[in-house]
Amino acid sequence: MSSKALLNAFKSNKTAFGIWLTSGGIFHARTVAQSSPHLSWIVIDCEHGIIPLVPGAAETVAAIHGALPNGGGPSAVVRIPATGVSTGTSWQIKYALDAGARAILVPMVSTAAKAREVVSDSRFPPLGRRGFGSPFAHTNWGVSSSEYLATANDNISVIVQIENQEAVQNAKEIAAVDGVDVLFVGPYDLSISLGYPTPNPDPHPDVEKIIQQILSVAHGAGKKCAIYCSSGPQAAKRASEGFDMINVTSDVGALTQGINDSLAAAVA
């Protein structure tokens, strides 16, 4: 069975650390998935990364879930390219989940109405309107099609990104939507939306106040709260603040830093 690492971390109230995957390739994804025993999830970024949703997401999900034996590796999370301000999210959620993703991440969800739509597209009836029929989702989970149908609603995490002023204003209503599991703070677009520079590396103090408000709102509604970080020390700080799901680095960031550090040591 594919990894339940993310869901298990949520259920045990442990911090789930992850990595952002922005570059495609089966072997690349597998290498990242095998990189650390502390890795709970990997976001397959089909929004700003160069991984196409079709067919790249499905191949990458399979590579991640098959990277370690007995489903012992990280959970694959697919961030779809369409944002919450568009009308094109429904088919993209369907494709990502039919590819076997363990969680769906939808950018720029700014209203409770959109959050309810995302949940409905992510759940089979009677909880939603997701259609059944993929020959691949259950195989990527390592279960039968009937078992997938019976268990998917309880084992797929729905994650919505809070990253603009409208979403901040509606955060309580979004968090209250039944079926939304995680509010994910996107500090870069959030900063821009509020009229501040992007984090360098930390957000502006005024943006930081709002980030803490989102954390409080999520926990007040009994939901998890996630945030994007760009380094281990930054991620450790967010963990101490109570964030439940934290990005630590990206594939490109880690690769660049690793090469730079090794060469710097070689020429020192």
What does pLDDT average to over the chain? Answer: 96
pLDDT over 60 (residue 1): no
Query: What residue ranges in the chain does DSSP mark as E strands?
Result: 16-21, 41-45, 75-79, 103-106, 157-162, 182-185, 224-228, 245-250
Q: How are beta strands 224-228 and 16-21 bridged, if at all?
A: unpaired
Catalytic positions, please?
Answer: 48
pLDDT band at 2 (very low <50, low <70, confident <90, very high): low
Q: Which of 109, 34, 20 is nearest to 64 (CA)?
A: 34
CA distance 62 to 25: 11
Tens digits of per-residue pLDDT, 132-146? 989 989 988 989 999
For the whole prediction, is pTM greater than 0.85?
A: yes
Q: Which of 51, 101, 9, 117 is nearest to 252 (CA)?
A: 51
Look at residue 108 in the predicted model and tell me its pLDDT: 96
Q: Which of 25, 17, 8, 14 is nearest to 64 (CA)?
A: 25
Tens digits of per-residue pLDDT, 176-227? 999 999 999 999 999 999 999 999 999 999 999 999 999 999 999 999 999 9
